[in-house]
């Protein structure tokens, strides 16, 4: 996994060639939960899940669970399309959301709304092929509330 120093070195190297490589990685999968307590227990009991955050976000209870080096977000809402439709979105963390959004829109990707800026966290929902939804986001670790610091790269 790249560290901040590595990212800056890559940017310097590629700026000389007039290219910019953005650091992006899959951060989490966000799934609907028709019985959120049952889902929490399932991931805790079978996969060693640790509840990192449990609070209301975007109008519903959200539970962020760490499993090994990965993350799972549970959304307290029944799936709109049970089965494969139980995944709400997956998250890709970037170090420059504006640049990635510019690239997406310049190549024809239509966003329902622009970047939401919460100060320490910026995000935009990106439609992908096969009706998959991606949360593209960037965090400012210097501004993060303490409860989030260890959760983000």
Per-residue pLDDT tens digits for 13-61 = 444 445 566 778 888 998 888 889 999 998 898 878 899 999 998 889 9
Q: Does the structure show a pLDDT above 70 at 3?
A: no
Q: What are residue 101's phi and psi, to 5 degrees? A: -65, -40
CA distances in angstroms from 27 to 21, 42, 87, 121, 134, listed in the order given: 18, 21, 14, 14, 11
Q: What's the CA gap between 134 and 128, in Å, rounded? A: 7
Note if the pTM is more than 0.75. Answer: no
pLDDT in tens, 53-100: 999 988 899 999 998 788 989 999 988 777 767 788 888 888 899 998
**For residue 87, how many C-alpha atoms fall within 13 Å in the half-sphere facing its CB?**
13
pLDDT of 13: 44
Q: What's the CA gap between 10 and 20, in Å, rounded? A: 8
135 conformational bin, left if phi > 0, alpha if psi -120 to 50, beta if neither:
beta
Q: Is 22 exposed, middle or buried (0-12, 13-18, 19+ CB in 10 A)?
A: middle
Q: Does the structure show a pLDDT above 90 at 147?
A: no
C-beta atoms surrounding 148 within 10 Å: 16
pLDDT of 58: 83
Q: What's the CA gap between 75 and 105, in Å, rounded? A: 28
Domain 23-151 has CATH 3.40.140.10: no
């Amino acid at each position: 996994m790249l560290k901040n120093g590595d990212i800056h070195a890559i940017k310097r190297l590629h700026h000389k060639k007039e290219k910019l490589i953005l650091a992006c990685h899959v951060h989490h999968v966000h799934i609907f939960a028709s019985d959120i307590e049952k889902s929490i227990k399932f991931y805790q009991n079978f996969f060693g899940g640790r509840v990192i955050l449990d609070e209301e976000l975007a109008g519903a209870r959200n539970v962020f669970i760490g499993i090994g080096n990965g993350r799972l977000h549970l959304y307290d809402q029944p799936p709109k399309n049970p089965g494969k439709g139980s995944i709400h979105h997956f998250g890709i963390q970037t170090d420059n959301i504006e640049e990635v959004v510019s690239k997406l829109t310049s190549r024809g990707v239509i966003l329902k709304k622009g970047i939401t800026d919460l100060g320490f966290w910026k995000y935009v929902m990106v439609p992908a092929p096969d009706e998959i939804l991606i949360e593209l986001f960037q965090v400012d670790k210097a501004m993060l509330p303490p409860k989030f610091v260890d959760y983000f790269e």
